[in-house]
Each structure stands twice: as structure tokens, then as C-alpha cells.
Structure 1
Amino acid sequence: MYLEHFGLNRKPFSTTPDPRFLFLSSKHREGLAHLLFGTQADSSFVLLTGEIGTGKTTLCRTLLEKPPEDIHVALILNPLQTPYELLASICDEFGITYRSDTQSRKVLVDRINVFLLQKHSAGQRCILIIDEAQNLSIKTLEQIRLLTNLETGDHKLLKIMLIGQPELKLLLERPELKQLNQRITARYHLLPLSEKETASYLGHRIFKAGGKTDIFSTAVAKKIHKLANGVPRVINLIAERALLGAYALNRHKIDKKLVARAANEVLGKSGHRFKPTLANLLMAASFLLAVLAISLAGLNIYLQKEQSEPVTSKQPVTTENLVQDESEKPETILTVHKQANAAAVAEINADISDTQQADKTELADLNSLLNQQKNQPAAIDSLFTRWGIPPYSLTGNSACEKAAQVKLDCIYRKGSFAELTGYDRPAVLEITDQQNNRHQILLSAIQGENAEIIIDGEKQNVTVNELLYAWNGDFLLFWRLPPDGSKIVRPESSGESIAWLHKQLDSVLGNASEQAASRHFGKNLKQKLIEFQTMAGLNPDGVAGPQTLIKLATFRADADTPRLLPSKSHGAK
């Protein structure tokens, strides 16, 4: 309507985010830099906040307009989802197939993890972006935190960006979200435009639309800035309505009266603060009561849905639950838990969509290998061999007793594929064949979509998907203890393990090695630990538990430590 009147070829002040009109103020340049950092850093969790209409979504769209070929993006625009719905949405965005009627979070997480490992092996990066993240529930945010556990020994597999209004910062400060908040590696709050930037912004938008930049004078731009408080979306609303008013009056320039009238039409004000009357307050109270009633009804439905959703995901791996209770150690080699996992196995095997029948057929290859297996305890022998230890040289009734003789410790648990690959160590898996018979095999290595397994001492190659369909979640792996056999090095520790830990951390962090490392746990060691844990994407608690010690050996690329995933070199800081 007014385009021809002003010589424009497109609407200059549309409120729909359009990267073609991107105006990079100093604030927006810094915000975009934080998003770009999120696509490149090894262990990144980026938080971008800002008031409504400041340009957060526009920056996001700009980032996604021409993404590099090695980047895969999952963009979530509707955050009002349960944890299960979020995982399903991520699968949909990445193009990961899954059975639509599955209710298992574990199945979805495992599918996501396999996809991420494949892309990582191909040198590609995967990014999850969630807009309007202030609307995420506590449970869904916790699920997002668990996704940061998807990793190789040295890299996070999924880069996450949370974009939202200032309420998101307050939400993340809640005590129950402390762990998630600690994992954020970059934060930026996008502020409104300054008065000078508003004038430049108006001229920029008009120029991009093909018009003359003198339509809005400096004085008019100052008026618009004051009314809009520098918020780009509000500036657009006022400027758009002012152009319509000028067109209706056959004017080619905008004056202050037109701006005041436009602001009154779109914002309900003419430059003065809105003063509520008693009638206004009564109407507002009635409206709020109605909204509250609807919200409570919706909350009741949501809670019923949450309670009815089967929760199959396990606790995240932490320092505490990694330390195995002596009473839970198997008395015999890989003693199976008394509670059968047939239901879980059936669910995994049933969760194969029609488009994945090829994978189901491939399982027969693995099944035939299992049917020919002669000596299941050989899987434990193969694990010792993978660590360069002759199994016949050890005595004991269980794998863990034998491992202790060579300063190795056991981790024996039921977990997800993400947890297993996070440890990045060869592991004995318990899997179930098509006849529901249980077998023990050694998962020796993973390379992209393929897995190297050892059955009866012979190497075989199968697909990762084959293993996922047959694996019931039980695994056993070894990790090397410090020289004095400590499983945890904490502030009350002292002696050889302290000096050893100093040297290991100095090697990874690139610090000058101390000639006579202290044998007492001091502030210096705690600072080093926190720095390393932050770099490795762990909870920076300043305590060296099994998870931290395992990661430390991985980062050092110790020659005597076998890896499950392809090794990559680590540079010092």
C-alpha cells in the first residue's frame, strides 16, 4: 500500500525475523559472536537472553541462514514439552527414525547418541537450539542437562544453545538446576538499542528496503527511541504505523505528531505513562482470575500426563554413584542381576520402525555369531588382553578381584549407551539373542556406525545398531587407579596420590611441572581440578572421583589405557 509512495521494494519494518534486515549494533555483534562460539567450542553450552523483541530470534535465524556444511542443527521453537516430547522433537529435527509409539526415553537417547557419534566420527558438529527457553519445565531442563553427558572421552557430542527472556536466568538460578547452570560456558544478555543506534537502525531498514534514509529525521528517531525504549520490535511497530499514517496524509517524511499517533495506536499510549483507573484494575483482576483458573486446569492435565509417562532413563553418572558399593560387586564373573531384564530387551527389539527392517535383518548376522559362541568367560579374558594383561597370570574368583591385582578397578552397572561411550573404555556387554539367550561379548572399539566386538577371542565387525537392539544395558569395564590405589582424591587425602595428581593435571593443563609437588590437598590442587573438570565438561566440584580420574587418563592419552572411541590428540591450554 505505502511501498510505492515511499519508493520501497519490500516492507522495511516487518516484525517477522528476517536476516536480510539484520542490523548489527555493538550489542548484537557480541551476541552473534557468542552464538558462533557455541558452534565451534569443544564443550559449549551457550545462554543468550534478552527482553522481548530485542532481536534474539533474528540472531538465531542469521546463524542458521547459511550454516557450514559440517554442522547439523536441531531447532526447537516450542519449548512447552515433556522430557519425552523434547527427545522426540530432537530426533525429528535431526532426521533420526524411531518407532512412533515408543514411550522409552532410553531408546530415544540411545538413538540420538548413535547419530551424534556417527557425525562426530565424520568430523561434523551437531547443535541443539531451543528458543523461548524460559518456558521449559524443570524436568525438561534436567533432561537437557543429561544430554550434555553424551560425549566421547574428549569431546561433547552435542552443543546446546538456550535462547530466552530474562526469566530464563532466574529459572537457572534455582537450586535444583545448579548442575545445569554450572555447565553453561558462555552467557550474554542482549540489551536494547541506544538512542544513536535507533537512528542508525531506522535508516538501515529503510535503505535495505530500497528507500531514502531521510524519511526519519534525527529528532523523530529520538522520539521513537523514547517511546520504544530501544526495543527493535517495538520500533518496528511504531515505524510501520507511522509510514501508513504518512501515506494516508500524502506525506513523504515522518514527524513527531505522526510518531505519537502511531505509538498511541499500537501501544495504547501517546508518550505518557498509562494510569490505571478503578475500572481498569477490576477488569485486569477478572482477567487474571480467569487465566489462573485455566492455568490450574492445564497444570492438572500436565501433571497427570507426566505421572502416566513411563520413566526409563537412569540417574546421570556422578562421582557418588560411580563408586561401587562393595556389596554390589559380582561374586562371580559378571554375575547377572537377579531381576530379569527381558522386558527391557523386548522393548528395544520391538522399537524398530518399518523403515528399519534392514537393521532387523542384520541382527541375524550377530545372532549367528552368538549361536556359535563356545566360551562366554573368554569375554573377560579378552578385556584383560585389551589392557595388555595376560589373564592366565591372575588369580581370583571374579573379574574385579583379578583386576585389583594389577591396580585396575571395576565399574559394573546397568546404564545407557551414552554412559558407556562417555567412559570411553572397552567393556564386556551382556546381550540377548533372538532366542532370548544371554551372552557376554567384548565391545572393543567403535568407529562411526561400526563396532568391533570380540567373541571367543576373534574380532568381528557389526553395526552399532545391531548391538543396541540386542544389548540389555549391563556392562563391565576397567579403569586404572592412581599409584597408591585411591579411588577418590579429596581434600582430606594426602600422600603419593596428591603428588601424582598434581603432575597429571599439570601435564594436561600445560602448566610448568612443580619440582617437588605437595603431598597435601591444598587450594592450588583444587583450582587445577576445577579448571580441568570445567574443560572436560564435568561437575567442577574440586574432587577427583572415578569419573574425573578416567577423563584425566583419556586427556593424557596414556599409552597403557585402551580406548573405546577413536583417539584424538589434546593440546595444552
Structure 2
Amino acid sequence: MYKAFYGLNDNPFSIAPNPHYMFLSDRHREALAHLTYGLGETGGFVLLTGEVGTGKTTVSRCLLQQIPDNTDTAFILNPSLTELELLATLCDELEIKYGDNPTLKQLTDLISMYLLNNHKNGRNTVLIIDEAQHLRSEVLEQLRLLTNLETNTKKLLQVILIGQPELQQLLKRQDLRQLAQRITARYHLLPLNKDEIALYVLHRLQVAGRHEPLFTRKAITALHKHSGGIPRLTNLLCERALMAGYGQAKVPIDHKMVNQAAVEVLGDIDVPGDKRWPFIAATALVLAFGLSFYLFNRSAFENNMSANAAIADVQAQSSLANQTPASMPSKINQAAQTQPQQVQAATPVANAQQQIMRQAMLQSSSIDNAFAGLFGLWNKQPIIGLSACQAAQQQDLACYQQQGNWHSIMRLNYPAVAYLQDAQANVFYGVIVERQAEQILLQLGEQQFWVNKDWFDRHFSGTFEILWQPDSILPREIGQSSSLAQVQWLENSLALVNKRRARLLTQFDSELEQQLMTFQRQHGLKPDGIAGNQTLVQLNLYLSQQGPRLSASEVRS
């Protein structure tokens, strides 16, 4: 029910094994490479282990897609079988006919005959057993006996065992040492790290139709902490956090929503008492010392406030919008040249401005109001009943959300909705309207303030959103196998960004790959040498000539 709110076409965090959402991290690719190697000409047993929910089934499904057409595959999902039941299930999977009440020998003979005929016809046979930690030792021994059928160069039956870490312990038993020695490749799949969790979440959102991040950096950190990097738990936490965000009508999903989701999904998450007490004691000690220091020095501080400190305060809080940016430098210079008596006289004015700004911050807690201001800069309007991004799409615009800093926003040079926080960590939203040197014009509700970079860095949460007008329909990605027209477009675009002459290409060469990876590094993207969705959007944002800019004379770097 939250899909329309987030601009999604599907539920991105279902725990059902939907192949459209298959995400292969570097760990999964390495596991796949080990399994593929293990199924080489020599055959034998291949072992894949990992904790519950780490993606073992995902790897096995991907392996099945890569198995050659001349391979017959048997897949056993419930290995809690006897020797006779296992052989009967293998016959069923390979469509081997057998009579009523067959004996163990009859089934073994039928399977052996099938394997020999397959070999004569140039076909391979692979048996994949999931949840193999539940196999009984006598069943594993029966599997070993089946693999005894071989030629001078290869096994006629290749077996892949997939299971939890207990499977490794099972294979260390003395009575299974012969089977353990026949394992030609083994891989233990570890959970995802924090960076991989971020890519995993973004990938699933993109498949579901949302091409901008939805979770803050702190939310990703919390996801990794609570899920331990396990994709299945990550799905459960994301699903619950999206429901919470929808219920509160909040975007993006922050770490508080993820923490609450963890409590609901995983149960109460308490800090152990032995860790909590030293923290409380240290905090109390620091507070007591700070209070004593403050009371002791309060009088001296009030009597010795310098003129430079007052001027810096005036600059940090800035003037209201009715003071034009052109007049700002002259007023600051005049303040710098005044005597201390004049600075003291100006302090009440600065305090009044601070009060006005604080009030505006308190009244800017609605992201919809902020987007209304951003729409106004594009001469557009929000649409009642639609999210900001949906309203943008109705008016031939697109949303783009990104995590970054001051330089990220200034490099793009677009007006933006910035996600901000006050000293008490209360969230508020402002529109960055204009830039002059190290100052920006920030709109809070109906008021506008000039603030400097230091003030912005202290209040910026790291998330911002812009509107932009795509010049063309973007391809899904541009890489080694893309058409020559797409490759040449990529070369031309990177040449424009770097202010160099474009080369005439006949293929996606190594120089273009290096140029692309350099661009990706400069813009905080994964330098994989493939122009995926995020890279293509970033390029189009960089080159687009449509819409308002923060600074008309600013050269992006």
C-alpha cells in the first residue's frame, strides 16, 4: 500500500526468491566462480556453505542459469530422506522410470545405466542438494558410492552440496573422510559488508522503479548493524521501515525508523548493562565538570567577548532575504571596521535575526512545503494527492535524491531541497535557491536567509533532492557489449565534462573505461567502469541545459 507513496512499481523487499531482484555482490560472484570451477571436467563434490539468509539459494539459481544446455539437473530441496528415498527422488528428478517397491540395488542400477547413457550421448548430470546439513551420514555415503561411476577423466555424476555451517562440521566426521576428500571446490559465503548492503538496498529499489536513494547513510549503517549483513534480515527490516515511513509520511527513511523496525522484527534490542553503566558514569562526570567550568568562567566570558567573535556570529547567521546579496560584503566590512562599542550595539540586532531564523527553522518541518518552493523555481506547482516525485513526472521533470555534502550540491549547481537538523537533532527542510561564493540563499518556509558554508555544514544531514528535466530517455547501462552509438555518446559526454576533444571510437576501449571510472570516483559512484543508471543520471545532470541553476557563472568541477 506504500508503493505509490515512494514511487515504486513493486514491493522491493519481499523475501520471496524473485529472480528479477537477484543481486550478486563480489562475494556471491566469487562463490559462483568456485562452484563453476568445481563443476569442471573433473567433477566430484562441490560445497557451498553460509549462514541462514546469506544468499546461498541465489547463487545456486544463478549457477543453474549458467549450466550448459547439455546438462541434466536434479534439484533436491528436502534432504531429510533415507538412502532409498534419496535414490527414488533422484530418479524422479531425472525422469527415470522404476517399478513399485524398488530395492536399493534396483534404483542404483537404474541411475548407473542413466549416467552411462548420458555420457555416451555427450550429456552431463548434476545433482544439487539444498539444506544439505540435514543429510544423514549413511545418505552421504550412498552419494559417494554413486560418484564412483567414472571414466578416466571425469565423474559421471557431479554433486553440489549447499548448506549451513553445520555441514562443514558434519563432513569432518571420521566415517565421512572419503567423501570430504572428493570435494573439488568449497566456498563459505559471508554476510554483506556495509557498502554492499547500501548497493543491495539501492539495487532492489531500482528494480522496483525508484532510481534515487531512499535510505539515509545512518539508516544504512543501522541496517547493517541490526541485520549483520544478511540479505533476508535486511529485507525484513527495510519492509518494516518503509511501513513506518509511510505511516509518518516521511522521506527518506532514517536510522530511527530502522532501529524501531529492528525492535519490531528482531525483538527488544537492549544495550548490555556492563556497557551502559560506564557510559552513564562518564557522561555524568563530563556534565558535572562542564557545569562547574561554565559557572566559573561565565563572568569572564561575558566581559571579554571580542569584536571578531561578534562579527563572525553576524556572518554565520546572515541577513534576511530583504538584504540583497550585493549589499552583504559592504555591511560585513563596515562591521569589521567599527570600534568595540559599535559592535556591542549591533549584537541585539544579530540576536533578533537569530530568533527570526530559529522560528523559521521550527516552522520548516514539512518536506511538502519545501518541495513547493522548489517547484516554484521551475515555474511548476505541486499536485494535490501526489508525492513530489510523482508530481514532477506529471510535468516532465524527474527527482534525484543523493547523499553528499556542500561540494556535491555546488558541483551539480541545481536548486535543491536540503535535509537539515538543528542543535537538538530536529529535522527541518530548506530550499537552496542561489549561491554567491561561500554563501547560499536558503529558503525556510516563506522566508529567505543568506547563510555561509560553516552554518550549512553544521546543519546539513547529508541528504538532498533536486528536480531536473531529462534531455532524452536514458539507456539502462552502457558497457562493453553496448551499441557503438551508445559508446560514442558516452565518449562525447565525458569529453564535454572534461573539456577535451571527443575521440571517434570503434569499440568500448580501455581509455574510455578509465575516463568513466575517473568520473565515477569524482562523483562518489562505484568505479566499476560500467555506465549504470546512477552514472548516466549524473552525466545528464552535469550536461543538461534545462532549468534554473544556483549560479549562472559557476563552472562545475
TM-score calculated relative to the size of structure 2: 0.48
Q: Which has the higher contact order (CA 8 A, sep 6+)?
A: 1
TM-score calculated relative to the size of structure 1: 0.46
